[in-house]
Structure 1
Amino acid sequence: MLNRRQMMQTLAAGAGAAFGLPLLPERLLAMPTSKDTPKRIVFFMQNQGFDPATCIPEGMKRSGSLAKVKLPEPISPLEPYKDRLHIINGLHGIHTSPSHSAFFGALGGYRGSDGVPPSASTIDYELSKILPQTLLPHLCIGMDSIENMRTKPTIATLSASGAGQPIFMHSNPNHLYQMLYGGISTGDIRRQHEARSNIFNQIEQLAAAKGNALPTADQQRYGQFVDGFKEVNGLRDRLDSVAGHLSKFAPKVDGRYTSPEHETDWHDVLLDLGISSLTSGITNTLTIGSGRGEIFGAWKGLGIEQQGHNLGHMEQPGNPIWIKIRQYNSRMLVRIIEALESIPEGSGTMMDHTLIVYTSNNADKQHTSGANWPVMLLGNFDGAFKTGCFTQLDGKRPINSLYATLLEAAGVPCEHFNMNEKLARKFDSGSGPLQELLA
């Protein structure tokens, strides 16, 4: 049974982690300045694998243009946007031991497993540090069955800020809405926001006062938990300070939030909140976990009764169930593109400075060795990436090389992301970015 001190520590850690914030105070959040390049990135991770046959146009065996080919049925909603699409086949993730899922290793490029903490930071977090700073540098949202999202509204399986430092993803849209837009809301949402704010303020003050009575050695450790509450309370204050701006982007709350018929109602409004966090400038790094990096997941709203692990044991090519799921994903990607395209930025739109990375935390399939890890890119990240094409690689470079390429495009050269020399010699035939992808 937890005593009072243990309860404080657990709550503070969960509060800071659930917002994707470090517990240490030196990293302050700020709105981007006019001199910053307005780049942003979205990672969309689908569980159960991404079979290459569901994304590579029929007959394409070699690298080439997508202009005169038809996209496969599972990703057909992307047909109008294939000039912005780059399909990549032939990366590997053998060293991550994905099997049911690589978990943190999918975005970290290292060995991952169920219940195993991250051994290093993940690429989404690293990019959030490099890109122009925002009020909330990194937002993670997770989609699952309605039961799982209700009983575990936050879960950490995909993103991390360092070794043993997972970043939690939000799965209850009511909680996330309250966090992002509670300060500009009315009625019950506003009252809940204020009540939660008062509780967090009181806990921060109480924790700080009680911490002074601890031995010197404990004060430093305890101070990290106090700083966790400061970060959460500070984020709330910063969001409240730009309430007028945020009110232009806040999604409309409807019955899907409080009375969802299917889990896809929550999936849809979670995506709305993720999109609004990008278009409003709250964040520039968004990670979406469909299936939340695990072996579960449900899509009853699409007319699919099967759910969870069983979906991973189905062949994806030509399977009507997986066609529905992948098309649903593709329509979500289109919603992101259309929202960002609608907002002018610089000489173009927000989408011109954005990159969407779509793949799976499971490489190509359930129970995989990770020998092939297909990826789709949408957008060119301010002209950094080639688009409208298919690239077939030789299977000798790991997903880490893709992440090194993303860092290169963001302005930070990287030879081997999260790989020491020994691992690189064994699992990577080259070094640095994948030149085949760069414009």
Structure 2
Amino acid sequence: MLSRRQMLRGLAASTGAAFGAPLLSERVLASPLGNTTPKRVIFFMQNQGFDPKTCIPEGMKHSGTLANAKLPEPISALEPYKERLHIINGLHGLHTSPSHSAFFGALGGYRGSDGVPPSASTIDYELSKVLPQTLLPHLCIGMDSIENMKAKPTIATLSASGAGQPIFMHSNPNHLYQILYGGISTGEIRLQHEARSSVLSQIELLAAAKGQSLPASDQQRYGQYVQGFQEVNGLRDRLDTVSDHLRQFAPKVDDRYTNPEFETDWHDCLLDLGISALTSGVTNTLTIGSGRGEIFGAWKGLGIDQQGHNLGHMDQPDNPIWIKIRQYNSRMLVRIMEKLESVPEGSGTMMDNTVIVYTSNNADKQHTNGANWPVMLLGNFDGAFKSGCFTNVEGKRPINALYTSLLRAAGQNVDRFNMDDKMAKKFDDSTGPLREVLA
């Protein structure tokens, strides 16, 4: 079995050759071979809200250890992992005006709404810039009803690289598999990969040529469109250079991809692809949108007939439907942890250097004002975060403070994230990271 160091050394060597840039090779290997360890962050965003009663152990009203507490039924799958868990209650997102969803504001910490473009970058993208560079710095996957995932295989609602620059989520596992592993596939998948590659390359050339004839006022906006094709085509070429390495991590393609019985078949495939991108070293920042940041979502594979907006009008505590959904999510979290735990890294495993942020793009419930925004952290990010505990945040601290904490843990000396002094005076009682959360 390849060690994590050997794996990354081979990946970096191939990457450096692809870019013709020794500096990139050094950056990929900066953490594994230096004095620090590589780190990665996973965001799992559930739509329709995250009621605190579905995660806070009964009777816990004050901050304390989880050692002798019993986790609520919706997250009972995490019981064996309590020592890695940190439940946070009391953060707010009043300034995001979430209502049905905060959309980009959930990870951006600013006002968001349906159809409103992002006003700044989101925390997942900012972390992807700080963490050691990878071939695909940031991967987003979105889970929804099978109809929505087929009709709109890509959608942008949660992540952004800057103002007016959304990052698209992948919702069709067949398309994402072709992007990540099409170059190492055979048969029909390989033929589709080559056909798509040829078409996308031609579109890039045509789009670039047509854009030159546009008025100057439209060229910048059209340039972003062309850049999107350049990035996709460039990624495909870079991944092809490390095909031997990727072959060890590619999930097996089965009937769930081509003939899913339920949407949860595709949810599971997407999760497998996200995990494989992490374990292969292709990315170190993964965002998962369960419900894709909107008000929809379906889980018929769990025996749940209701779907979409109606789910948001149901109370979550003690609701058998929401218990099933939250348990399904918790099992997904366990799958991520178990897989990362199985990969050696440094003196431990990949999970030792990872933090998973589980919350909602809609604070605590549907039609919320964002006054309470519960969050669960899994993993301590190489000792940066406290774990095995419950924190009830004192005072008025926004979700931005948690994002500041993540940036601090990643090595950025910042006191605020996407919140100027004027906003902070209104929505934040303090400055800097959440001291209750950092180790």
Q: Specify the alignment match of 1:25 in structure 2.
A: none
Please state whether the residue corresponding to 2:42 is helix, strand or coil: strand
Q: Specify the alignment match of 2:98 in structure 1.
A: 98
Q: Is the 8 A contact 2:135 2:235 kept in 1?
A: yes
Moved more, 417-426 or 229-238: 229-238
Moved more, 398-407 or 32-41: 32-41
Q: Specify the alignment match of 1:158 in structure 2.
A: 158
- Partner Cα separation in structure 1 for residue 292 and residue 104 of structure 2: 11
How much has 1:222 moved relative to structure 2? 5.5
Matches within 5 A, 1:221-236: 224-236=224-236
Q: Is the 8 A contact 1:413 1:432 kept in 2?
A: no
Q: Specify the alignment match of 1:34 in structure 2.
A: 29
Q: Specify the alignment match of 2:10 in structure 1.
A: none
- Tell me which amino acid in the other structure corresponds to 1:236: R
Structure 1 unaligned spans of 5+: 1-27
| TM-score in terms of structure 1 length | 0.91
- Partner Cα separation in structure 1 for residue 219 and residue 39 of structure 2: 40
1:348 equivalent in alignment to 2:348: yes
Q: Specify the alignment match of 1:278 in structure 2.
A: 278
| Change in CA separation of 1:393 and 1:187 when aligned onto 2, cut-off 3 Å | same
Q: Give aligned pairs, total.
A: 412
| Change in CA separation of 1:225 and 1:322 when aligned onto 2, cut-off 3 Å | closer
Please state whether the residue corresponding to 2:394 is helix, strand or coil: strand
How much has 1:413 moved relative to structure 2? 1.9
Q: Specify the alignment match of 1:174 in structure 2.
A: 174
Q: Is the 8 A contact 2:395 2:429 kept in 1?
A: no
- Partner Cα separation in structure 2 for residue 118 and residue 436 of structure 1: 30
CA deviation digits over 1:260-310, x for unaligned, max 9? Answer: 101000000000000000000110000000001111101010011111111
How much has 1:328 moved relative to structure 2? 0.3
- Tell me which amino acid in the other structure corresponds to 1:55: C
Q: Specify the alignment match of 1:7 in structure 2.
A: none
1:203 equivalent in alignment to 2:203: yes
- Partner Cα separation in structure 2 for residue 211 and residue 119 of structure 1: 25
Moved more, 106-115 or 390-399: 390-399
How much has 1:144 moved relative to structure 2? 0.4
- Partner Cα separation in structure 2 for residue 221 and residue 310 of structure 1: 37
Please state whether the residue corresponding to 1:397 is helix, strand or coil: coil
How much has 1:221 moved relative to structure 2? 6.4
How much has 1:77 moved relative to structure 2? 0.2
| Change in CA separation of 1:66 and 1:255 when aligned onto 2, cut-off 3 Å | same
- Tell me which amino acid in the other structure corresponds to 2:421: E
Q: Specify the alignment match of 2:323 in structure 1.
A: 323
- Tell me which amino acid in the other structure corresponds to 2:269: V
Q: Is the 8 A contact 2:263 2:299 kept in 1?
A: yes
| Change in CA separation of 1:327 and 1:234 when aligned onto 2, cut-off 3 Å | same
- Tell me which amino acid in the other structure corresponds to 2:142: G
How much has 1:217 moved relative to structure 2? 7.9
- Partner Cα separation in structure 2 for residue 50 and residue 215 of structure 1: 46
Structure 2 unaligned spans of 5+: 1-22, 32-36
CA deviation digits over 1:389-420, x for unaligned, max 9? Answer: 00011251000000000000001022221011
Please state whether the residue corresponding to 2:397 is helix, strand or coil: strand
Please state whether the residue corresponding to 1:322 is helix, strand or coil: helix
Q: Specify the alignment match of 2:52 in structure 1.
A: 52
Q: Is the 8 A contact 2:41 2:286 kept in 1?
A: yes
How much has 1:212 moved relative to structure 2? 6.0
Q: Specify the alignment match of 1:84 in structure 2.
A: 84
- Partner Cα separation in structure 2 for residue 99 and residue 215 of structure 1: 39
Q: Specify the alignment match of 2:366 in structure 1.
A: 366
| Change in CA separation of 1:347 and 1:320 when aligned onto 2, cut-off 3 Å | same
CA deviation digits over 1:125-175, x for unaligned, max 9? Answer: 000000000000000000001111110111111101111111110000000
How much has 1:228 moved relative to structure 2? 3.4
| Change in CA separation of 1:321 and 1:189 when aligned onto 2, cut-off 3 Å | same
- Partner Cα separation in structure 2 for residue 109 and residue 436 of structure 1: 20
- Partner Cα separation in structure 1 for residue 151 and residue 228 of structure 2: 23
- Partner Cα separation in structure 2 for residue 302 and residue 149 of structure 1: 18
Please state whether the residue corresponding to 2:147 is helix, strand or coil: helix
Q: Is the 8 A contact 1:29 1:135 kept in 2?
A: no
CA deviation digits over 1:28-47, x for unaligned, max 9? Answer: 98785332231000000000
Q: Is the 8 A contact 1:124 1:287 kept in 2?
A: yes
Q: Is the 8 A contact 1:40 1:355 kept in 2?
A: yes
Q: Specify the alignment match of 1:6 in structure 2.
A: none
Q: Specify the alignment match of 1:298 in structure 2.
A: 298
- Partner Cα separation in structure 2 for residue 187 and residue 412 of structure 1: 46
> RMSD of the alignment, in Å?
1.8
Q: Is the 8 A contact 1:29 1:137 kept in 2?
A: no
How much has 1:247 moved relative to structure 2? 0.5
Q: Specify the alignment match of 2:385 in structure 1.
A: 385
| Change in CA separation of 1:31 and 1:339 when aligned onto 2, cut-off 3 Å | farther
- Partner Cα separation in structure 2 for residue 218 and residue 30 of structure 1: 37
Identity of aligned residues (%): 81
